[in-house]
Structure 1
Amino acid sequence: MLIHPWDSTTEDEALDFVRANEFGHLIAAGRDREIPVVVPTQFVLADDRTILLHLARPNPIWTAMKENPTVLLSLAGDWAYVPGAWKALPGVEDPRMGVPTTYYAAVQLVCRAEVVTDPDGKAEILRAQIARLEVDGDLADPAEHARLLPGIQGLRLRIERVSGKFKYGGNADEPHRRHIAGQLAERGGPGDAAARRHLLRALDG
């Protein structure tokens, strides 16, 4: 993806976003394919270099990963539309001349895929996912569902490269960005609070 210098983020900030948004699109290009295989999936960032997940055995992505184990995990979120008029300072600039845009965060992880087929390995991945999502933990251990394990395969992704983009008006000066932050707070629509937090963090951090 295109990342301007003013939109770039550190690897730590990008991984924090991944940790807070453990759902994305896993993309496998395979070899000599007309289009890649794209799978929306939940996952766990187990550590700064390891992602764990599982998928059904009939999923076409297994074949693509066998052809080429280098995959891309793509996430995007915390987006908010910014009307053109918001980018003009009241009483100073003509609101008709403001150029609208969309604020958003996006992270792409280039990974090496390792397929996990043994029952113990698959159960361990399921435990990690359940522990992240079910804080009560009052469930049977995945090993108790051994008869269902053949229907899935586990996946361990080794992160090789992290690219992060936080597009929150970094190319604008502080008065314009603070004005937009105020407009986001006033509108209060879906995504506005998250976008405003990113914008102010960049200003005040």
Structure 2
Amino acid sequence: MYIPNQYQNTDRADVENFVKNNSFAILVNQTAGKLWATHLPLELETDANGHEVLRGHLAKANPQWKGFAENDQVLAIFSGAHAYVSSSWYDFEEVPTWNYSAVHVYGTIRTIDGDELLAHLTRLVDKYETASEHPVSVAGFSKKTMAQVRGVVGFEIKIDDIQAIRKLSQNRDAKNFKTIITELEKTGSPDAVAVAQDMKRCPFEK
């Protein structure tokens, strides 16, 4: 991923939190000679050896998983809030731009099944059911419902490289930086407001 120096996010803890908080990702690989992408949840976890990995699953009917054996190199893309920045907000003439944050994770993928897959599905359901008024659990599903597990392919991605960008107007002076935050908040757009909050937390703030 192309990342100008001032937009690089090298704070590993911040990057990990970003991946965990924006876990609905895009998994990209090459399948049958073509680029293939699937939108799916990917969970950042630690394996038995203490190494960070991504775990997920996709439908067995999705041919993407068949490409894992041909080429085990994959890319997972995590995107955060993004917003248009109007150059009318500046006190000088400039072109408009877009503020956003994203993380690209490159790794080596392998399929998982059996108890390993079941453990992944259990953790996934437990994580997202915490906000439910009447949470369900994998352990509580009937045999009929659990039979659907045969229709998915689980996988684990050994992380080889992480690249993170945080493009939040760090190239502007203090006055214009603060103005952008104010104007983003005034839009009322959830994404724009979220970007404004990201800018307030940005360590590159002028």
Please indicate the TM-score interval, normalised by the length of the shorter structure.
0.7 to 0.9
**Is the contact between residue 122 and residue 137 of structure 2 (CA under 8 Å) also seen in structure 1?**
no
Q: Does 1:113 align with 2:109?
A: yes
Q: Which runs of 5+ in 2 are unaligned?
A: none
Q: Equivalent residue for 1:79?
A: 82
Q: Distance in 2 between matches of 1:117 and 1:138?
A: 22
Q: SS at the partner of 1:39?
A: strand
Please list, as runs of the form range in 1=range in 2, the aligned pairs for 1:179-190 lying within 5 A after superposition: 179-190=179-190
Q: Equivalent residue for 1:44?
A: 43
Q: Equivalent residue for 1:24?
A: 25
Q: Which runs of 5+ in 1 are unaligned?
A: none
Q: Deviation of residue 190 (structure 1)?
A: 3.0
Q: Which amino acid aligns with 2:74?
A: V
**Is the contact between residue 42 and residue 53 of structure 1 (CA under 8 Å) also seen in structure 2?**
yes
**Is the contact between residue 113 and residue 155 of structure 1 (CA under 8 Å) also seen in structure 2?**
yes
Identical-residue share of aligned pairs (%): 23
Tell me the TM-score normalized by structure 1: 0.87
**Is the contact between residue 77 and residue 104 of structure 1 (CA under 8 Å) also seen in structure 2?**
yes
Q: Which amino acid aligns with 1:24?
A: A
Q: Equivalent residue for 2:62?
A: 59
Q: Which amino acid aligns with 1:130?
A: V
More displaced 10-residue stretch of structure 1: 77-86 or 130-139 = 130-139
Q: Deviation of residue 100 (structure 1)?
A: 0.3
TM-superposition CA deviations, 1:35-72 (whole Å, max 9, x none) = 31111111222247111111111211112111111110
Q: Deviation of residue 195 (structure 1)?
A: 0.5
Structure 1 residue corresponding to 2:137, chosen from 132, 136, 139: 139
Tell me the TM-score normalized by structure 2: 0.87
More displaced 10-residue stretch of structure 1: 44-53 or 74-83 = 44-53
Q: Deviation of residue 140 (structure 1)?
A: 4.4
Distance 1:6 1:171, change over 3 A: same
Q: Equivalent residue for 1:173?
A: 173
Q: Deviation of residue 155 (structure 1)?
A: 0.9
How many aligned positions are there?
195
Q: CA RMSD in A?
A: 2.0
Q: Equivalent residue for 2:97?
A: 101
Q: Distance in 1 between matches of 2:142 and 2:57?
A: 15
**Is the contact between residue 37 and residue 60 of structure 1 (CA under 8 Å) also seen in structure 2?**
no
Distance 1:143 1:9, change over 3 A: farther
Q: Equivalent residue for 2:164?
A: 164
More displaced 10-residue stretch of structure 1: 135-144 or 169-178 = 135-144
Q: SS at the partner of 1:81?
A: strand
Q: Deviation of residue 179 (structure 1)?
A: 1.0
